[in-house]
Amino acid sequence: MTKPDLASAQSNRFDVLVIGGGAAGLYAALSIPPQWRIGLVTKDTLSISASDWAQGGIAAAIGVDDAVSLHVADTLVAGAGLCDPKAVEHLASHASECIERLVDLGVAFDRSDGQLAMTLEAAHSRRRVLHAADTTGRAIVSILAEAVLQQPNITVFEQAFALDLWLEAGRCRGALVVHNQQLRWLSAQATVLATGGGGQVYAQTTNPAASTGDGVAMAWRAGAQLRDLEFVQFHPTSLAQPGAPPFLISEAVRGEGAHLVDNDGYRFAFDYHPDGELAPRDVVSRAIFHHLQKTGDRQVWLDLRPIPRDRVQYRFPNILQVCRHWGCDPLSDPVPVAPAAHYWMGGITTDIHSQTSIPGLYAVGENASTGVHGANRLASNSLLECLVYGAELAHLPLEPIPAALASPEPSEALALDWSEPLAEAWASVEKQRQRLTQLMWDAAAISRSQARLEDAIATLSQWRTEWQRHPLQALHNLPTGAAYSLPKTLDWPLVRAWGELHNLHDIAWLILNSAAFRTESRGGHFRQDYPQASPDWQVHTVVEGDRWTISPAVQG
């Protein structure tokens, strides 16, 4: 298969442009009717995404003792008063058909006695989480990627980066994409943002390196409405072994019976919530955070030894392999763990059909705020949301594009004031990214306060002013519709790294201001100076441009 290039003929105009190659983008592309020409842009390869890293599973009320109403009720409780009941009902009621399609496509979910196996995760009232060992996301994404590559109507641009959305007369017309030293405005009747979350804005995160909030940042710059950006979920159990990255150790491990203990072997989680290790994620993360503050330790321990050895080996082979690689064996000893940024509940406001506030622009997956997660996502609802709301793209209102409009524009060299040596440019980007992520971890992670937030906002404001003078800012002012070649002295990986940092600056600004705006604690947002939830704040935080307002939460 010949890989497409932006400079090739017929590659600049599509019926639908999908930005993102995880479960949301892939499933959306497969759901769009095959008569439409689709361009799919992914920063890495189709198999590298946060979906691919998802371990626990995908929730669906298909067990004989389960019901859609129970799944809805559990989701609403976890969402702490900010879920949209209609959106949650839509999610839960369409779960079974999405599972059936995945099975038909060839996803090899685990089975027990010939039936789909289901496990329990925190805050679920039934065993409803389907899994493929502890690499469920990988099992789903690999199958979806294979299916996408077999579709003749889908053109995939791998290792390509979308810089900005194309707006014309108040409608989204596509996006500016850099790929193989080429910059080109790709035109589309409908543009779908499926870029995932923004966990990389924090110094400690379970997200892959590509999770830099690109879709939310692009949508914000284009004027789309955003919602509830202060709600960030911190996974309680990421690997805290010295020298190891913060690898996620699935919540399903605790669902199977693992214990959280401190250095003295004490199961402290019950001091903070009657459900102990199986309390909602935000509760467990705060329990660890506060317990570490009290004890002065740097990590707690996840003890898998209460689970039968053969069960651990069957259910969690990847976790075993990674932990052993970093020098700890969960079958013999407790594993050191600590919280890390994991999932962003807020995002681009969408309706039940994945439509944003901008005509022609849609959002699916973690970069969207559909209303299903509220202030705190229920475990294993994220992969399901990618599928259910990606399937809504089957109903896009599209019209055939006249063939005469599909010829590419000529390419010209980009006039850019660029003289910095690449090595120095890379060092500068990496240094600025490191200081930004540490700022966010210190000011807007698990426990927040007005003083720290305001200090961080002031610091970031200064950094953003300096950032606006960067020579590559010229890329945000290119005339729409044209195509360009990057200067030979500038490689596209640096443009991607710069673009990601630009987006991280934007989403850090959005999270900090949203967290300062909401003066209460709810779900994934905890304020030590306002530690209780307030009925006056059972509302959504709405962001449009530089305005923060509230909108009523829909009550079930």
What does the DSSP assignment read for 349-415? E--TTSB-SSTTEEE-GGGEE-SSSTTSPPTTHHHHHHHHHHGGGGG----PPPGGG-PPPPEEE--
Q: Which among 192, 184, 151, 139 has a CA at the least distance from the CA of 19?
A: 192
Provide the pLDDT for residue 279: 86
Active site residue 281: yes
pTM of the full structure: 0.92
> Which residue among 128, 254, 281, 496 is the active-site one?
281
Buried b (16+ CB within 10 A) or exposed e, 346-382: bbbbbebebbbbbebbbbbbbbbbbbbbbbbbbbbbb
Integer Cα distance of 13 and 166 in angstroms: 13
Provide the pLDDT for residue 547: 98
Provide the pLDDT for residue 92: 98
Provide the pLDDT for residue 404: 45
DSSP designation for 157: E
Integer Cα distance of 401 and 167 in angstroms: 18
Provide the pLDDT for residue 160: 95
Please give the chain's pLDDT, 556 residues, in tens.
Answer: 446 766 654 567 899 999 999 999 999 999 999 999 999 999 988 755 444 444 558 999 999 999 999 999 999 999 999 999 999 999 999 999 999 999 999 999 999 889 999 988 878 999 999 988 767 878 888 899 999 999 999 999 999 999 999 999 999 999 999 988 888 999 999 999 999 999 999 999 999 889 999 999 999 999 999 999 999 999 999 999 999 988 989 888 998 999 999 999 999 999 999 999 988 778 899 999 899 989 999 999 999 999 999 999 999 998 999 999 999 999 999 999 999 999 999 999 999 999 999 999 999 999 999 999 999 999 899 999 999 999 999 999 998 765 544 444 556 667 777 778 888 999 999 999 999 999 999 999 999 999 999 999 999 999 999 988 888 898 888 888 888 888 877 888 899 999 999 999 999 999 999 999 999 999 999 999 999 999 999 999 999 999 999 999 987 6
Domains, the chain, ordered by start = 1-53+135-231+345-395+409-556 (3.50.50.60), 233-342 (3.90.700.10)
- Residue 544: enclosing H or E segment and its boundaries? strand 539-544
Runs of H (alpha helix) within 63-113: 68-78, 85-93, 95-105
